[in-house]
Structures are given as C-alpha cells and as structure tokens.
Structure 1
Amino acid sequence: LIHLSVLFQPLLTLWTAWGHYDVCKSQIYTEEGLAWDYMACQPEATDMTKYLRVALDPPNITCGDPPETYCALENPYMCNNECDASTEELAHPPELMFDFEGRNPTTFWQSTSWKKYPKPLQVNITLSWNKTIELTDDIVLTFESGRPEQMVLEKSLDYGQTWTPYQFYATDCLDAFTMEPKTVNDLTQRTLLDIICTEDYSRGYVWKNDKTVRFEIKDRFALFAGPRLHNMASLYGQLDTTKNLRDFFTITDLRIRLLKPATGATTVDENNLSRYFYAISDIKVQGRCKCNLHANSCVFDKGKLGCECEHNTTGPDCSRCKRHYHGRAWSVGSYLPIPKGTANICNFGSSNDYLLSLFWCMSHITENQKCDYCLCRERDPITLKSLGKYYLFQDFTSATRVCDNAMLRCQNGGTCHHHQRCHCSPGFTGVLCERARCQGPGECDDQLCITCFLLLPICPRCGL
C-alpha cells in the first residue's frame, strides 16, 4: 500500500514553496492529435541579493577614508576598532552586506561615525534590480552595530522614480513619526496593506540574538493562507482578484533610510560621538522575477534580469503578446484553479498573421532553432522545393538555440536530429514519431503528409 502522504507530497511541496508553478506547458494527445496543454508558471524563489546594485547616499558615507577609530556603544572608553579603506582587512565597503555569511571574523559594511559626520547621521541605502520582482519571504537586515533608533523601509515600483513606505521603525513611534506603535500581529485581512510603525526592532544595544530588523512578508501571507500557509488557495484567490495586494509584494527597488543610530540612552553623548555609527553584516531579500505567470525561468545576462517568456508572450516581464499573437488581448496568468492555474496564452491573430508566419517559418528560420514543436518544413520561397529541414512552428520567433533532444519531445523512442527533426525508431514515422509507419506501398508517404499540412487545412489521408 502507498501511504497517503506519498500521494499528496507534490501538492504539499507546492504549498510550502508558496506557489512554485514550475511547468509552463506539456504535450497531450487529443482527438485532433498531439497538442499543448498550457499552465500558469513562474520562476523558483531565490536569493535576490545576487542580482542587485547598491547605492549609498551620501556617497562618501562609508568609513575608512580617512581612517577612523571607533568606540564601543556600551563602553565609550573602549576604542580599539579601526576602519581603513586602504587596508583590505580593515575596510568595510557596501558589498560586504551581501557576501557569504559565516566567515570569521564577520564581514560588514560600516558608516562613518557621528564624529566624522557632525550633521544628523542619516544614510540612504538603495537596492535596485532593474527588474520587477515579487517578494516571497521576510526582508531581514542584520546589524553589526546597535540597531537604528529610527529607520524607514521604502519600496519603489517604477525603478526609483517614486517611493512609498513599507514600514517605520523606532524606539518611540509617537515621538519619531507621530504614529501609534503596532506589530504585524495587529493586522487583519482588511488592514494588511496598512503602513505601520513598530518598536520591536529598535532597541539600541547589541545582544546575542538581537541584531536583526525584519519586514514580515510571511506573516502577511498567513492572514489569508493560515499560520502554517496551509490554505494557499485562499491566498492565490486574493492575489488573482486584488491588484493592490499583488502590487504590495512587488518591487523594483528597496530603500533603507537610516535616520538615527543606536545611542543606548535618551540623549546623545556629545563628547563621545565615535560611539555612534551604522554597521550591517547581512541583508536578505528572497523573491522571484515577476513574469506574470508566463515563464518558469529568469536569466541574468549582461548585468540584467529577464524572464524567458512562454505562452507566446514577450518583454522583460512577459507583459505583452508576441508579434502576430494578438488574437486576444494580453492578460496575466492566473494561479487558479490549483494546482496548474490558467495560462491565458496569447493566440494567433488574423488569418493573414497565420499565413505570414507560416511563410516566414518555411523560408527564413536559421540553423539551431530550439526543437520544441516541429511541424514546419523549410522550402525555397520561389520554387517551393523542400530544403529538407524541419523547424519549430509555434515559437518560430524565438532566438536561435542549440537543438535539445529533451525539448523536442520525440515520441516512441525517437531522438532529435541535428537538422531539427525527430529521428524515429523502426516502425514509427511523423514529425514527432507519433504515428506507426505505414505498411502498404503508397498508403501514406511522410513527405506527402507534410505537403498536405502546409497546403491544405485538412489532410484525412495522412491523419492530420
């Protein structure tokens, strides 16, 4: 007997990954023959700090130029920490906020002290992706210094042109931001999008387990999906129908506004300003490329993220239909119904689009096209003589790629030939080796079948 947990494990895995739809399409057999079954899909969640650019304002706020000695916050007479940008072991540049954790000694970015920067010690740290991304887990900042007494986390959805607050942080929310202190536990489904000020993360001294500042994403998911995220269908339904909710978890940029460093007291010790500074050892941002449920992979090429679009869509976020695929208006994919969702693919437009694309496919495709749906045969555009190569029909506008046997999906043991067609096992024929080979002479010729397909809408003799 098979235990029920084995049967339901794929669904449990889907839920715990909070919506990792990893397949965009699969081939199925229908009454009309081989066809595509399309599904909503999205890239897997990953560590998004690998792909960001960081900028500091003011730009000269990092310590070490000139070298500087720091005192401990809890002991103003313990001043043996040095920052020197010209010495690798003593430098604390911004990239150390995103390097591998677990090194000894700990690596971190550090600002100049209040002594070297006598104005209010304020720093903006901007994280930019040049791509729309969706957050899937808590944003976590780990401070090597005391946690800031005042801080704001902000987001942008338009590549840094405009900013809106995500959350305020302070030791005293009323005094700092004229806001009543709240926690994420005070939120409800109706108030999930409220911007709150919390005092949970702003104690000044650094204790052993007291270094992090969070923006709680999963606790907000739990308002719809339950405390263990067991009811993902409820969350998916809300994300499908409430644009403001989708946008709340979507960003192009994050900005950390450090407004007041930890002082550990109600007043600033003007005689020991070297005690006050910011230092961050780690920033975690977990998320995925936003591809509007039209891609299951996102590539980082030439310093830029981009979705590898399916469903006849295109663009950095798969947010428009390909040329000739405007048979219906573009639409975002849907998470529902679980577990495959709805792809909302872009379809061929008019019959003119179809004929133009067919002619293009027959005469202009180059070598090494991605083997995926081989139904087109290249022909000379003047003589219509076959040039002996089979090519992809459905995705004919995609970039050239190396022929991949796994993507051609040749049937019945067939393999992908370097001329972009299936090499069939004995006894089978057809572009995808999907048909048994004809036994009688003249009963059905494979080349004739292809000719029928290209020139006639129906070819009963060939079973197309």
Structure 2
Amino acid sequence: MRFHFALTLQALWTGVCQAAMQHYPAAAWGHYDVCKSQVYSDEGLTWDYMACQPEAADMTQYLKVTLDPPNITCGDPPETYCALENPYMCNNECDATTEELAHPPGLMFDTEGRNPTTFWQSTSWKKYPKPLLVNITLSWNKTIELTEDIVLTFESGRPEQMVLEKSLDYGKTWQPYQFYATDCLDAFTMEPKTVQDLTQHTLLDIICTEDYSRGYVWKNDKTVRFEIKDRFALFAGPRLHNMASLYGQLDTTKKLRDFFTITDLRIRLLRPATGATMVDENNLSRYFYAISDIKVQGRCKCNLHANSCVYDKEKLSCECEHNTTGPDCGRCKRNYQGRAWSAGSYLPIPKGTANIYCECFGHSNRCSYIELLNTVICVSCKHNTRGQHCQLCKLGYYRNASAELDDENVCIECNCNPYGSVNDRCNGTGFCICKEGTTGPKCQECLPGYLWDNGCKSRVCDNELLRCQNGGTCISNVRCNCPTGYTGLLCEKRRCESELGGCGGPDSGQAHLTPPSTSRLLLLLLLGSVLLRGVSCWPAVL
C-alpha cells in the first residue's frame, strides 16, 4: 500500500534509492509476441514460424494462497494489538467477524493504495519464547517464469528472520531462494551478502542478506525484495541492453532457466520484528506479522511455443502453437512427433527459433529426422497420402477438393479403366489419361468409329461399306474371318506373301510347277528347229 509523503521526504528517499539501486527498462525481456506469420515464398503463401511467449503480467491474480498453521490469521478470537514503535499505543483491533476489522490473507493481493491501508495480519507472539512460525504458500498449479523482482511489503516491521523458498514440482520439494536476517551468521550460519556480490559464475548461489531486515522509518523500509533484474544484469549489462547475452545463457543453461522458473513460492516467517535486542515479554501484542502487498511479476512458461496463456476453471494453461500441446507446451501434439521435443530458442534475435515439429495432418504418427538436411519427414503416410508432410495424394489417387488436409478421405482413388487408360493415374480433378479412341472421366467409353473390346478398337467391317475381301466374313464389326490362304485386316493379302519363299515356294500354298521330262525337252527342241527352217524358206515379202 502507498502512503503520501511530504515532497522533501520523497526527494530525499529518491536520492538514496538512486544511489543504491539500478534502474532498468520496463521491457527487459523483449516481446516474442508472434508465433507465426504468413509470408510469400517460391512455393506461394506459407507460414514463417517464430519463438513466442506470453506477455509478462501480475501473477498474483492467478494464485492460490495457503497459510500454515491454518489458524494463524488474527481475529478469531478478536485481539487488540500495540504498535511496534510505541508499546503504549494499543488501539488496533483485529476481529474476523467484522469486515472493517478483519485481516484475511486475500488482503495481501488486493488493490494497492486504499485508505486506510489493508493487510493480512497474524496472531501476536503470545506463546513466546516458542517461535512464531508462519508459512505462506503461493501456488499457481502452473510453471511461471519470473520477470521482475519479487516484492513483499510489511506493515508491522520487516521480519528479523525469513526465508523465501521456491518449488518446481508443485510443492513436492522446496529449495531456498534467499535467506533474510538481521544477523545472518547468528540466524543461518551464513556470511551476509548482497546481490551485488554475485557474479556470472555465482549467480545461482543462495545468499543471506541483511539489507531487508532492519527497522523502518518510512514506507520504502517496509519492503523485502528478491532481486530478479539485478541477476539478469550480470549477463545483459547494467541497463539490460545486451539481452542477446542473457537469452544465449538461458538457451544453453538449463539450471539458469530453472532458477527463474517456479510453480510455487513459500514465504517462511521465522521471527517477527522486535525493534530491539530483547523481547518485551510484558507486551507481546507488539510482535506479529502483517503484509499489505505481495508482487510477483512473470509469465506462463510455454517453452517459447505460445504467445498467450488462458485462465479457465481456476487454472492457467498455454494456448500452444508449433504443433505442441500440454499445460506448458511441453510435448508434441498427437501425430506431430518428428524428433525428441525441445523448447523454442530465443536466438537468433529478434525472432528466435520455433523448432517446428513434424506435421503429418493426422496421416502418420511417425516421423524421421534427417540431420543432414535438418528436416523432418513423415513416415508411412496413411489414407492414400504421400509427401514430406503427407500433404500429397499417392499415385492413383487425387485430392478431394471438399475435404480438409487432415480428413481421412482427403484422397480419392482415380479408378481409371485398366483397358481404356494409359495408366492408373489421373489429374487433380480425377480425369484419367485415355488411350486412342477412348474417352470419359475414367476412360470407359469409346469415341465414334470405335467399339469396346477390352478397350476401344476401331470399326473394321460392317458387311455394307466395309466388306471383307476374298470370301472373308465380318465378325462383330471388329475383324474379318479370312479363308485359308488370305490374311490382313480385310483379308486383302495372300498369306503366302509373308511366308518363306514367297508365293512360288514349296510352302506357298500355290500349285507346284512340275519339272519337264527329257522326252518333252527333246520334242520342244525338234519343234523349235523345224520352225526356224520354215521361216528361212518363206519368200521375202516386198
């Protein structure tokens, strides 16, 4: 909660703060607010994928708060408290049955700046010397990445001993974030340090600080911080201008990423402010815890695969992109597993790397990563699909224009007629490539002048205009049945013309020429001699 101070007091405090504290730009983590955008490539309009994350927000509006012990809140029964700085000012009441006097845990997260100041308050230390121990657990049931300092504002003096703890497994185990004490050696046997004592190599060290456990004079002495941005500055520079260096470390160092990641926070209050070295046992109503505000700034951890986080049914979850799923986008969607899942990358700045996984449109549940090409291909595409992403139809099938790419019926069989088509393939509209004389979408019909006979064959004869020759008969208009000795489409050729020896050979099918006998040869010679003599005796004709 904020008080209004005099201008001179504010100016004085501003000077002190500027001397002791770094100032950082508000948008220290960058944006990475777009997961994908449409771009034009050689293949046309396509998607360009980028690393993305939700915007940072006040995460206290999504948490569940638990107190241990459960009855540690004041007001049941009603109680009167004294001011720490004035043990005789005992007019503060806490009554859980009266709204104006109640101090429930929800007041640690209400709107700051209300007048009078609202705050949660514990019971007093009436069981002294038994320790007044309180655990305040903040749970999100979701992994959160911290982006700003954690700030607690106390209304009763800052605790003399306190531990801030974190959990990464939803409260199953806890690790300390930082110890706070007026005397670190006495309280935790630790040397006191500040965040300015850390280096890049010791950033993950757990320290005890005495900076936030002393008494207070004005408002800014009421706060206890866990410095997130001072730790970022060890890599990004004093004003967080070199974010590439920080992003590179977050990409490559899991322990560093995990250091700034939580599912739960636990504030362990071990000893209230006493304002002195000795506890006033005669006025224990001075000692209690009161917290007016807790700030936890961060974002849903989505592993750079989502740019928005939704709060539904009291639960945060990422709206995952890049074919990932799960509350943190921590695994591949069904049918999109290409290689081992990994988070996105902040690098190269400014878009990062999305690490897109295999997209098979539901037609394959197995992919193969080809390291040489740095690409993933779908294996064993189903539903008659093929291609790197099962986005094409296999040969003999064509795309169903009315179906989406992830529809099981996206590819329709061509069903080309095996006798009428050149092959079993068709074009994008399902029309097959037909042989000569064949037509129709599936090549199942004949053009004029052709007849179907396990395919379209041209008309040969009809016993009218196209007659078979040499005594041949027309069979079904597609062929002539030729008599022995003739062949050809219309029986127009003698069979012997295509045989060995031609039509004069012994196998020609024609009548053989009998060789003349010797007596016949002598008779022919004699006849020829007589004829020659007769000619020579005839008188010349003038």
Measure the CA separation in 2 of the matches of 1:91 and 1:212: 22
**Greater mean deviation of Cα atoms: 28-37 or 254-263:** 28-37
1:287 counterpart SS class: strand
The correspondence for 1:74, drawn from 73, 80, 85, is 85
Query: Does the Cα contact within 8 Å between 1:71 and 1:81 map onto a contact in 2?
Result: yes
The correspondence for 1:323, drawn from 314, 334, 337, is 334
| Partner residue in 2 for 1:262 | 273
What code does the residue aligned with 1:47 have? D
TM-score computed with the length of structure 2 as normaliser: 0.64
1:165 aligns with 2:176: yes
What code does the residue aligned with 2:27 have? T
> Structure 2 vs 1, CA of residues 40 and 385 (structure 1 numbering), >3 Å: closer, same or farther?
closer
Measure the CA separation in 1 of the matches of 2:256 and 2:214: 31
The correspondence for 1:128, drawn from 139, 143, 163, is 139
Alignment deviations for residues 15-50 of structure 1 (CA, whole Å, 9 cap, x no partner):
934132000011111112221111000000000001
> Structure 2 vs 1, CA of residues 119 and 325 (structure 1 numbering), >3 Å: closer, same or farther?
same
| Partner residue in 2 for 1:355 | 382
Alignment deviations for residues 412-454 of structure 1 (CA, whole Å, 9 cap, x no partner):
xxxxxxxxxxxxxxxxxxxxxxxxxxxxxxxxxxxx85879xx
Query: Does the Cα contact within 8 Å between 2:144 and 2:262 map onto a contact in 1?
Result: yes
Measure the CA separation in 2 of the matches of 1:225 and 1:154: 25
Measure the CA separation in 2 of the matches of 1:141 and 1:50: 15
After TM superposition, give the deviation of residue 205 of structure 1 in Å: 3.8
Measure the CA separation in 2 of the matches of 1:385 and 1:343: 30
- Structure 1: state its 5+ residue gaps: 1-12, 360-374, 377-383, 398-447, 453-464
| Partner residue in 1 for 2:203 | 192
2:316 counterpart SS class: strand
Greater RCO (Cα-Cα under 8 Å, separation 6 or more): 1
1:279 aligns with 2:290: yes
| Partner residue in 1 for 2:192 | 181
1:240 aligns with 2:257: no
| Partner residue in 2 for 1:308 | 319
Query: Does the Cα contact within 8 Å between 1:16 and 1:229 map onto a contact in 2?
Result: no
What code does the residue aligned with 2:221 have? D
Listed as ranges, the matches of 1:367-406 within 5 Å are 391=404, 393=405
**Greater mean deviation of Cα atoms: 250-259 or 322-331:** 322-331
After TM superposition, give the deviation of residue 55 of structure 1 in Å: 0.2
Alignment deviations for residues 158-206 of structure 1 (CA, whole Å, 9 cap, x no partner):
0000000000000000000000100000111010000000000001345
2:251 counterpart SS class: helix
Query: Does the Cα contact within 8 Å between 1:299 and 1:308 map onto a contact in 2?
Result: yes
Sequence identity (%)? 83
| Partner residue in 1 for 2:53 | 42
Measure the CA separation in 1 of the matches of 2:384 and 2:252: 35
Measure the CA separation in 1 of the matches of 2:267 and 2:97: 27
What code does the residue aligned with 1:355 have? K
TM-score computed with the length of structure 1 as normaliser: 0.75
> Structure 2 vs 1, CA of residues 269 and 14 (structure 1 numbering), >3 Å: closer, same or farther?
closer
Query: Does the Cα contact within 8 Å between 1:127 and 1:254 map onto a contact in 2?
Result: yes
1:144 aligns with 2:171: no
> Structure 2 vs 1, CA of residues 214 and 239 (structure 1 numbering), >3 Å: closer, same or farther?
same
After TM superposition, give the deviation of residue 352 of structure 1 in Å: 5.8
| Partner residue in 2 for 1:109 | 120
| Partner residue in 2 for 1:455 | none
1:230 counterpart SS class: coil
What code does the residue aligned with 1:305 have? L
After TM superposition, give the deviation of residue 261 of structure 1 in Å: 0.2
Query: Does the Cα contact within 8 Å between 1:130 and 1:305 map onto a contact in 2?
Result: yes
1:95 aligns with 2:106: yes
After TM superposition, give the deviation of residue 346 of structure 1 in Å: 1.3
Measure the CA separation in 2 of the matches of 1:15 and 1:100: 21
Query: Does the Cα contact within 8 Å between 1:239 and 1:245 map onto a contact in 2?
Result: yes
Query: Does the Cα contact within 8 Å between 2:154 and 2:293 map onto a contact in 1?
Result: yes
1:209 counterpart SS class: helix
> Structure 2 vs 1, CA of residues 353 and 115 (structure 1 numbering), >3 Å: closer, same or farther?
farther
| Partner residue in 1 for 2:96 | 85
> Structure 2 vs 1, CA of residues 123 and 385 (structure 1 numbering), >3 Å: closer, same or farther?
same
Measure the CA separation in 2 of the matches of 1:36 and 1:60: 56
> Structure 2 vs 1, CA of residues 253 and 22 (structure 1 numbering), >3 Å: closer, same or farther?
same
